[in-house]
A and B are shown apart, each in its own frame.
Chain A
């Protein structure tokens, strides 16, 4: 009954047509992938994901393989737009009509649903060795596995080789070198760094990277587990100071805090050569391939530079998992759904995923063929530490505060001390 109340509440609170908690078959995007199966009327699984393009094709092929092994089982595929996905899944979960298999990014957001008892524990059905340990950890809570990571993403600084050559620049190893590059580019009227920070997470990478370079890779875990340093540690304050220093030296495109990421204006600055660098996840490569294929030959990357006197090094990388496939605990066919997520993370799927979409995978031992991607793979293999994004690790409200305060740091409307204090005060409330 409570769920019914909730639906009513939502309906009255929002006059937004798009928030219909459509369970099955209500969306126009739905692509029914039932084709050759001779027997139907059997079990039906519903599967939600967000990735378009080649990634989608890879998932569809995995589903076909699953259906060959399990005759008579139907799988309904539904792709939900990235921005709407979090809300749509949250509504379907609380509406009591969740999909059997769904996408997540692991971390705190998935844990939210785990805490509510909405996600199936699949620890006993899988082999942990099949996955990259750090990636699987991001979907493991209390030693129980709640999701299988197909994708792994790194955070790197991409740059335009052509522009660097033109001004005789080389990728920086330290912050000081980076600053001199930024100055040179500014003198020549090239925007040094493209940043689309309306969505807040692109800017958050700077804070996470600086904090890790200054305070060492353990800083966040100490603050998160409330053991040792906190979010008001001097390293966080210093990270904020570095960010504001970069803003003050005009390192970014003007008005970055109002530029949304999904609409592509930030990437457009890179493609058009108006900007020279961009700190972003490697999903950027997939974007380049679909949006501006010619640009790929100009594209290269470096790791976020080191900071003098800092405890961290360029072996500590920012990373993220996603897609992470999970099974809803309300699924009527938990065994079949578990089989489906295993197929979605099989070695074959992972190979297709990494080779055809220019991504890395959370499945261990799958090496990319593409040289460019292979360099990223080696970085990940040799990494000393992979830092998952704060906003996917922290509980939702604290995660929002982290992104809000970081955006305000970029907007120069908060001092680094104020931002760090706000974070620590909220963390004391929300984290045990």
Chain B
């Protein structure tokens, strides 16, 4: 018996070793296959982030040798009123993206499924803004918003309003650019939602029909819950995109007038390549990264709990 026991133990041990070996071998194989991508990822994503963090501790103009100044860049940053303006403006973009852009994209997507004549043509028309380059869009809208001869002002003149100097007013400039952002990116979410709606099984709607559901119920009980994953990923895209927004503002207002439309991105760019404060710009860059990271983690955690509760439960 004892002998049998020990041999059993030996077999078990052997099996365990084999499993271990297999696991190790698997890990090695997986590692080998992943390594090229991992290397690229480390070199182009992880490493620059760490390098940026490192630079943010220096007073450095970008080419000569920097001086180590510890956390001074961050102290200066948190006392910099322009940075807080920029952060607030980024928040406005985020809110606009999530609460205007995405719902608008959803409405546009739903309209594409409505029995309206010529809707196929409209789907292309809706998508046009997203196809144009941002610089072209920026220039186009600068002309549209021209304080004297712009078509927007001519339009509001028809309704009896006075000309508005859209991009020059510290209060109106942000609104004007936000409008352009919504115009540009809503079609992107439209396409995402459209693809997701196509993916919803027809049977669900048929079953709902049998149960006598009206269109509103069908939307709230079937379409909307099943679109939730798309809404979550759209939100992540929108939020992260808003936090690192740069191009359209750079083209249309350059962060002006008087920093009224300054963003973290444009302010970082100015500090780095206009004022040659590479260390300070790195500090801004790192704060941007950190904020984006925190926001994404929060969204992921919330989504995890949502999935745990189940998609269909209210």
Contact = CB atoms under 8 A, between A and B. Distances in A.
Contact of B44 (A12, A117, A404, A413): A12
Interface stretch (B1-9, B19-27, B88-96, B272-280): B272-280
Contacts of B165: 254-255, 257-258
- Residues of A contacting B: mostly: helix
Given A255-B165, A256-B168, A400-B275, A14 B269 contact: yes
A86 interface: yes
Interface string B127-156: 000000000000100110111110000000
B163 A118 contact: no
B52 interface: yes
Nearest to B281: A13
B124 interface: no
A234 interface: no
B230 interface: no
Contact of A411 (B54, B258, B265, B269): B258
A253 to B, nearest CB: 6
A13 B52 contact: yes
A8 B45 CA distance: 9
Nearest to A11: B48
Interface stretch (A25-33, A87-95, A343-351, A363-371): A87-95
Interface in A395-415: 396-397, 400, 404, 407-408, 411, 413-414
A112 interface: yes
A8 B51 contact: yes
Contacts of B63: 3, 6, 93-94, 116, 118
Contacts of A413: 170, 257-258
A411 B278 contact: no
A90 B276 contact: yes
Contacts of B254: 198-199, 260
A134 B142 CA distance: 39
Contacts of A255: 146-148, 163, 165-169
Given A5-B51, A94-B63, A254-B147, A87 B166 contact: no
A9 interface: yes
A16 B247 contact: yes
B257 A258 contact: yes
B223 interface: no
B143 A265 contact: yes
A400 B273 CA distance: 12
A198 B257 contact: yes
B28 to A, nearest CB: 30
Contacts of A200: 256
A13 B268 contact: yes
A3 B143 CA distance: 40
B89 to A, nearest CB: 16
B153 to A, nearest CB: 9
B272 A13 contact: yes
B242 to A, nearest CB: 14
Nearest to B285: A13
B86 to A, nearest CB: 14
A274 interface: yes
Interface string A255-273: 1111110010100110000
A90 B273 contact: yes
B55 interface: yes
Interface of A: 2-3, 5-6, 8-16, 86-87, 90-91, 93-94, 112, 116-118, 191, 198-200, 253-260, 263, 265, 268-269, 274, 396-397, 400, 404, 407-408, 411, 413-414
Interface of B: 44-45, 47-49, 51-52, 54-55, 61-65, 139, 142-143, 145-149, 163, 165-170, 173, 244, 246-247, 253-254, 256-259, 265, 268-270, 272-278, 281-282, 285
Which 4 residue pairs across A and B have the least CB separation, nearest first? Answer: A255-B165, A255-B147, A258-B167, A258-B168
Given A6-B63, A9-B51, A90-B276, 8 more contacts: A13-B285, A86-B273, A87-B274, A112-B276, A198-B168, A256-B168, A257-B165, A258-B165
24 contacts: A5-B55, A6-B63, A9-B55, A9-B278, A11-B48, A12-B52, A12-B285, A13-B268, A16-B246, A16-B247, A86-B274, A90-B273, A116-B63, A198-B256, A253-B147, A255-B169, A258-B253, A259-B147, A259-B167, A259-B168, A400-B275, A408-B257, A411-B168, A411-B257
